[in-house]
Structure 1
Amino acid sequence: MDALLILGGLVLVLVGLVWLVTLAFGTSLLWGIGSLLPPLTLLYVFSHWRVARKALLLSALGIIPLIVGLTLMATQDAQRLEAIVSLSWLKPVVQEPPQLAIQLRGELNGQPFSPQQGELIDGNLILREGQDFFARREISIRLNPPRSGPVRFDVLPQDKGTLPEVEVSWLLPEQDLPEARRLDHGYTLHLDLQPVAPNRLVGDFHLVLPPQFATTLSGKVELFTDRLRYRDGKVDTGYDSTDTLSHVVLDYLQRRFTTREVQLAGLPPVAWPATQLELEVEATIAGQVQRLPVRLSKHQLRGWVVQEDHFPPLAAVPAPVSTGAAAIEAPPVRPSRPLDRRQRFSLERLQTNPSRYQSLAVRLVTKRGSTVEGRFNGVDSEGRIDIRRNMGGQGEASFVLRPEEIASIELLEP
């Protein structure tokens, strides 16, 4: 509404001014040329008021909706008004260089595929095109089991057994939800990825799906292995992600309690974008579990910081001094096997005990055939399932589904 009032007011003002210049040319050629200069335009209005008053009245009428529209915009969206007044919209848009060097040739579902985002986190390799909640086109490959260090896979169509699960999805302009196809055999895959400090994998990628999928991709990929970003060799604390917040909070707790024996549990879900956060974090500090309130704020230059953080840096850990005596090797401790919550997981169990599966990765298939993948964020007051998905630099998006809309649900991590 405010934009229509501003546009309508500007149109009336311009029509009135054009009419005024036309009247000046009708009076004489010299007055017409002179009316193109603002001081002489006013002189013409005063000297030929009876002729010019109609055009001037029309321009004055246009000022009324113009002022009303600007006032409404100032109260509802001050940043938008500032951008219009400052003429920043006239400046050319400077596109930031891509963070990842992904050079793929081929197509996905018969369309060219140019992913801008790529990651391999918790054994899930994702190549994504588009910045919205649902990607325009996306490939997801779940590697079983997840691997650290170099990654190498070779799969042929005739291979059997437990193979990586491949899922392709695409979103057409007329659709609200993407279509997805999944297969666990009958395809060709070649991965040869080498780690590059501090948090990337770089190497060859080759994927050929059966003919009905119209998907063939080959080339070089670069993938993030976590959701931290680095600048000049240090963590970029200005990047919005849960991993960034975990890094900041962990460093704060280590300095606050003067110990490096701090293990941070998963942070609660965060609604992005944000500049102020109040979180209750759970951490094991020197063997003791503690729950602590933490307030964070984002500064333009320093990025995310903990408020009231005045603790000095920790002293450097001295290198161990060798005494020449042979060290007695302690017997290996067999780690206890963590409970796998994927066993006997179901929608009913999720609704009965939602806190047990909080922030875990899940995949839902709706009765309409669409697939939604993200992290479980809880059950709202109406019993709907809330799924959040990290969007990288764009923050997180939420998707809410009623239980009766869900055809199947799968827990993707222990």
Structure 2
Amino acid sequence: MDALLILGGLLLILVGLVWLVMLAFGTSLLWGLGSLLPPLTLVYVLRYWRTARKAVVLSALGFIPLVVGLTLLANQDAQRLEAILSLSWLKPETQAPAELVIHLRGELNGQPFAPQQGELIDGSLSLREGQDFFARREISIRLPQPVNGAVRVDVLPQDRGSLPEVQVSWLLPEQELPEARRLTHGYTLHLDLKPLAPNKLVGDFHLVLPPQFKTTLSGKVELFSNRLRYVDGKVDARFDSRDTLAYVIEDYLKRRFTTRLVQLASLPAVTLPAAIVELEIDAQVNGQPQHLPLRLKKSQSRGWEVQGDHFSPLPAESVAIVGSRQATVGSPMPASEQAGRPLDRRLRFTLPRLQSSPSRYQNLSMRIVTERGSMAEGRFTGINPDGRIVIRRNLSGQGEASFAVRPEEIKTIELLEP
């Protein structure tokens, strides 16, 4: 209603002004030309009031619905009104600088492919185009085993054995879930990636799939090796990710217990974005197990921080310690803890097992293929009251999104982590 009133008022004002100009041209050509300039328009109205008053009254009537509409808009959405009056909508949109430099030539499924996101984490390489839960187009390459440091992979169509699994997916406008195709052999792949501080891999990427897939890509890529983001060489605590929370918690524990010998266990499931997160974490501090409830909050200026954190920074490290430290997110746990871990849960994983014991698979990465051939991949967060399998996926800077699938629609479901 407020928009209609505003538009109606502006239309009446515009019609009144056009009518006024037409009356001025009817008086004389000079007055008509002069009425196109606001100061002379006012002179014409004062000089020929009897002729111009009808047009002036019509324009004046237009201010009534205009003011009423603006008042309603101010009561309902003050920020929108402020944006309209500030004319910010006239300014061209400023594109944020890209986080990654990716230059690929070629196509995916016969369409140009211009990924904005890329990562190689836990042996899984992903190049995504689009910011939504499901990418418009995506390439995923799962390496036989996780890598640390430089990556060199060469695969030819005739190769067999333990090869990377390549998956391409695309989402058409009329589809709810993307279509996906997987290959375990018969393709050409070349990866030559070198580490780039603080958390990137940079190098050559070359992929050629069989002709029926219409996918050929070649060029330079830049990939994140974890889900931390850096500003001026320091971790950006404002970025929403589990890795950011883990970094903040680990830093807090080091300062709280005045030691750098801190190893954080895997965090519980977290829903992001959020303003406050409450967690119960397990960690090894100086070789001693610690179980702590923590409350983290996020501020616009400083980002994530542990509530009640008033501990001072640790003293500067010596050169020897700096050279030997390997305090990265996701570092392996001690052998004593690894020995106590359960067996690989992928061995006997089935949909009925997931439905009967969902807590056992909480926050693990899964891949679902529906009866219609669509594919969804993300981390399992639980089963909702309707009995649907709920998974979530990180959106690279825009938080996380969730997707629910009915069990009867599932053709295959795979657990991708032990």
Mark yes or no: TM-score above 0.5: yes
The answer to whether structure 1 residue 297 and structure 2 residue 306 are counterparts is no
Whichever residue aligns with residue 350 of structure 1, its letter is L
Query: Which ranges in structure 1 are unaligned for 5 or more consecutive residues?
Result: 322-331
* TM-score, scaled to structure 1: 0.87
Residue 343 of structure 1 corresponds to: 347
Q: Using the alignment, how far apart are the partners of 1:90 and 1:168 within structure 2?
A: 39
CA-atom RMSD in angstroms: 2.6
Percent identity between matched residues is 68
Structure 1 residues 353 and 73: alpha-carbon distance in aligned structure 2, compared to 1, 3 A threshold: farther
How many residues were matched structurally? 401
- Judged with a 3 Å threshold, the aligned counterparts in structure 2 of structure 1 residues 337 and 161 are, in CA distance, closer, same or farther, namely farther
Corresponding residue for 1:237?
237
Superposed, 1:46-65 pairs within 5 Å as 51-65=51-65
Task: Indicate conservation of the 8 Å contact 1:121/1:225, yes or no.
Answer: yes
> CA, structure 1 residues 78+402, in 2 after alignment: closer, same or farther (shift >3 Å)?
farther
Amino acid across the alignment from 2:339: S
Aligned to 2:267: 266
User: What does residue 89 of structure 2 align with?
Assistant: 89
1:160 aligned onto 2:164: no
Q: Secondary structure at the match of 1:193?
A: strand
Q: Which residues of structure 2 form unaligned runs of 5+?
A: 322-333
Secondary structure of the residue aligned to 2:339 is coil
* C-alpha distance after superposition, 1:119-169 (max 9, x if no partner): 001111001112222212110001111111121212121222222111101
CA contact (8 A) 2:270 2:277 kept: no
> Which amino acid in 1 is paired with 2:377?
E
- 1:141-290 alignment to 2 at 5 Å? 141-264=141-264, 265-272=266-273, 274=274, 276-286=275-285, 287-290=288-291
Give matches, 1:251-400, under 5 Å: 251-264=251-264, 265-272=266-273, 274=274, 276-286=275-285, 287-300=288-301, 302-318=302-318, 335-336=338-339, 338-339=341-342, 340-400=344-404
How far apart, CA to CA, are the structure 2 residues paired with 1:2 and 1:348?
Answer: 53
CA offset at residue 30 of structure 1?
Answer: 5.6
How far apart are 1:39 and its partner, in Å?
5.7
Provide TM-score, normalisation by structure 2: 0.87
Q: Do the aligned partners of residues 57 and 368 (structure 1) sit closer, same or farther apart at CA in structure 2, a change above 3 Å counting?
A: farther
Contact 1:297 1:307 in 2 (8 A): no
Residue number in structure 2 paired with 1:324: none
CA distance in 1, matches of 2:76, 2:348: 50
| Contact 2:141 2:164 (C-alpha < 8 Å) held by counterparts | yes
Deviates more, 1:276-285 or 1:177-186: 276-285
Contact kept in structure 2, 1:137 and 1:170, CA below 8 Å: yes
What secondary structure sits across from 1:389 in the alignment? strand
After superposition, give the CA deviation of every residue in 1:254-289 in whole Å (9 maximum; x if it has no partner): 2223333433331432232x4x21322313253233
Partners of 1:293 and 1:53 lie apart in 2 by 72
Q: 2:405 aligns with which of 393, 401, 406?
A: 401
Deviations along 1:316-360, whole A, 9 cap, x unmatched? 345779xxxxxxxxxx96752743121211222222222222211
The secondary structure found in structure 2 opposite 1:289 is: strand
**8 Å CA contact 1:299, 1:305 repeated in 2:** no
Residues 93-123 of structure 1: CA distance to partner in whole angstroms, max 9, x if unpaired? 2223322222222111111212121100111
Structure 1 residue 242 displacement after superposition = 2.3
Asked whether the 8 Å contact 1:366–1:408 carries over to 2, the reply is: yes
